[in-house]
Amino acid sequence: MIFPFNTRTEVCRKSSLLVPSILLTLVILVLFIVTWVMENSPMSGLNTIDESHEGNKFEYEQHHDHNSVVDVQYIVPKALLDVGVYKEDEDFENERGIKPTYWRFNSSLSWGPCLPPLTPIKQWEDRRNYTTSVNTESTEDFDYLRPIFQQHPPTSIHSAVDQSRKDYKSRQQQLQRGGGCRPGFLIIGAGKCGTSSLYHYLVGHPRVLPAFEKQIHYFKYHLTKPLGWYFSFFPTPRSFLEHGGLMTGEASPGYLPYPQVAKDVRRIMKQQPHHDLPKIIMVGRSPLERMYSSYRYNYVYPTLEYLRKGRHHGIPKDLSDEEYEPYLFSLEDFVRSELAQLKLCLNWVDRNNEFHKGFGAQMTFDQWNNQAEFRDALMKRNQNSSDAKDGPPLIDLDGSCYGSKVSSTVLRPQWAELQTQNTEKVIVDQNLHLTQAMIGRSLYTFPLEWWYLVFDQTDIFFVCTEELSNPETMRELALNLGLPSYNFSQVVDEGAYNVGGHRGYDKATSWEELQAERGGATMDAAKNQTNGIPITPSLYEELQEFVRPYNERLFQLTGKRCQW
Ligand SMILES: *[C@@H]1O[C@H](CO)[C@@H](O)[C@H](O)[C@H]1NC(C)=O
Ligand SMILES: *[C@@H]1O[C@H](CO)[C@@H](O)[C@H](O)[C@H]1NC(C)=O
Ligand SMILES: *[C@@H]1O[C@H](CO)[C@@H](O)[C@H](O)[C@H]1NC(C)=O
Ligand SMILES: *[C@@H]1O[C@H](CO)[C@@H](O)[C@H](O)[C@H]1NC(C)=O
Ligand SMILES: *[C@@H]1O[C@H](CO)[C@@H](O)[C@H](O)[C@H]1NC(C)=O
């Protein structure tokens, strides 16, 4: 840093503004001294460390500068365990004797969830250019981290557990961005079942660090990008150390429905050191409630928005919601048409207990039996007449049941009648994967079966939405993930996340408010018989009958029974 004192005072004299110039000089001088003192004071530790090591290996300050390239030698310090912060026996044993995924102590290949040296790391906006080339030979590099931890020991495990740092946003801001650490859990869905709440509660555990985005959807939409791009959404090793973190993770409800995603998560994460895998978490809600929620959030609200903006030819813009009602299909419309389609696709049992085989089993077989992970199960369950002990046929609901566009006016076979007979009504061509499957995406067992083929049973956790508000549910889940016991009561008391559509993202709605809304719904006599779901009682009954066996299968598969 060179300050042009002489030049500056020359200019000032000439302009004869002597007093201001002296003041300016003083201010600059003071700033200079303060900067120098700060950079050389042991209090600022990281810069000191930086100077005592050649080059810019550890320029944490640069993390704040989005445009700079930061060459971080990532942390693999078995030796650091000896500093006394992360100890094998005391700190990693939870009450169940379960260790969080990735934590091992006999290798220097990685440090917990964090990867060994990465070269070079680009910042936040430049994720596309991340790389994960691993340099496994330079374990010596980690020695330089020792003094950092001696001077700035991370929050100790036990004191961390005493604190609650539940605020997602402020927590996020405390973290160093730029990642390098792997997710210890993936909340894979289901959509509209409380994935946001579950995620916020989990990162409310003092040892769980949030990702920079809750939904990354790497394994569904971004696989062409390097894995380093994905890891860059997670906190840095330094954040892990400073916060006493044991785990980070993400919630992408678009993962659950796709067999390919299950396969890719395993394949890609297995390539990482130790071949450990993230834990898989799924949350499931009463199927009919989820269906209604999906109708509102995936159909009604986006369609109203679309119409209000005047984007539909022939329908005036800026009308009230009531005025747009004639242009919308009812939930009843959607449910009847989808139910008929699903019955054709799935194996189903009619009122006389007669079994019918749908087209989905064969179609799914044809599509997936060339995949080693799935072949055996498909042979047993889809080809040979279904033997109860092997489980019901595997169905790729999304890939097999709904078909594709029939014409520019008929977007799915199931809507052929609806769309040709109600040409004034609108289905927007965007959310089709969601609107086509309002019931389908509530049949959680179908997509989850594929995850069970790819992951160990013990690595998949299933939570009932109605139990999310119970702190004990969260404590159980955390213990099973290998985290220390934690009382989630304060975290859960914040309310439910991302409900009510218009309340804003990552915002909690209090339980009282939700209760009041539910109470309101049951007061409505017309909706009473159908639990507040706006369909006719006979259709409600039929749907309940239809989903029951699939719920049962789900409970059998997961070993967990919900209240629906
Ligand atoms: C070291 O780790 C490997 C797996 O990477 C494991 O199989 C082995 O049992 C471990 N050894 C010890 C002594 O913990
Ligand atoms: C990423 O890398 C490519 C080629 O390696 C380069 O052309 C591009 O400018 C880089 N992008 C950024 C944002 O640095
Ligand atoms: C399917 O059934 C046939 C005969 O019923 C049997 O030979 C074959 O092994 C079965 N295949 C599988 C994958 O179970
Ligand atoms: C958790 O904390 C709440 C108060 O914040 C308390 O009422 C509850 O008993 C605690 N639960 C356990 C299991 O300690
Ligand atoms: C409406 O629901 C409430 C509570 O769910 C129940 O007590 C009441 O009997 C119901 N009324 C009718 C007319 O079904």
Q: What is the pLDDT of residue 510?
A: 73
What pLDDT, on a 0 to 100 scale, did the predictor assign at position 281? 98
Instruction: Give, for ligand 1, the residue of 106, 136, 277 to mutate: max count of ligand atoms closer than 8 Å to Cβ.
Output: 106
Region for residue 531 given its phi and psi (left: phi exceeds 0; alpha: psi -120 to 50; beta: otherwise) = left
Atom 2, ligand 4: residue with shortest CA distance: 489
Residues with CB under 6 A from ligand 1: 104, 106-107, 274
Q: What pLDDT score was predicted for residue 4? A: 30
| pLDDT digit string (tens) for the chain, length 564 residues | 333 333 333 333 344 556 667 676 776 666 665 545 443 333 222 222 222 222 222 222 222 222 222 222 233 334 444 444 455 555 566 788 888 888 765 544 456 787 654 433 333 334 444 443 333 333 333 444 445 455 544 444 444 444 444 466 666 666 766 666 889 999 999 999 999 999 999 998 888 889 888 899 999 998 887 777 788 788 876 677 666 678 999 999 999 999 999 999 999 998 876 788 999 999 999 999 999 999 999 999 999 999 999 999 999 999 999 999 999 999 999 999 999 999 999 976 666 776 667 899 999 999 999 999 999 999 999 986 656 678 889 999 999 999 999 999 999 999 999 999 999 999 999 889 999 999 999 999 999 999 999 999 999 999 999 999 999 999 999 999 988 888 899 889 888 887 755 455 566 777 777 666 655 444 454 557 888 899 999 999 999 999 999 999 999 999 999 999
Predicted confidence at residue 557, as pLDDT, reads 95
Degrees (nearest 5) of the Cα angle 309, 296, 298?
A: 70
Helix (H, G, I), strand (E, B) or coil at 390: helix
Instruction: Please work out whether the CB of residue 542 comes within 6 Å of at least one atom of ligand 2.
Output: no
Atom number in ligand 2 closest to CA 128: 1
From the CA of 239, how far away is ligand 3's center (Å)?
54
438: tokens are 């309002």
In 3D space, the residue among 97, 172, 195 whose CA is nearest the CA of residue 485 turns out to be 97
- Cα 274 to Cα 459: distance, rounded to the nearest angstrom: 16
Got the DSSP string for 99-133?
Answer: PPTT--SS-SS-BTTB-S--SPEEPGGGGGG----
487 CA → ligand 4 middle, Å: 6
Is 52 a pocket residue for ligand 4 (Cβ < 6 Å)?
no
Q: What is the 126 CA–ligand 2 centroid distance (Å)?
A: 8
In our burial notation (b when 16+ CB lie closer than 10 A, e otherwise), range 430-439 reads eebebbbbbb
CB neighbour class for 429 (10 Å; exposed up to 12, middle 13-18, buried from 19): exposed
Measured between alpha carbons, how far is 313 from 541 in angstroms, rounded to an integer?
38
Q: Strand locations in 40-107, DSSP E?
A: 69-70
Is ligand 2 within 6 A of the CB of residue 119? no
Positions annotated as catalytic residues are 192
3-state secondary structure of 476: helix
> pLDDT at position 48, please?
23
What is this structure's pTM?
A: 0.77
Measured in Å, residue 489 CA sits from the centre of ligand 4 at 6
Nearest ligand to the CA atom of 69 = 2
What is the pLDDT at residue 54? 26
Quick check: 381 and 557 in contact, CB under 8 A?
no
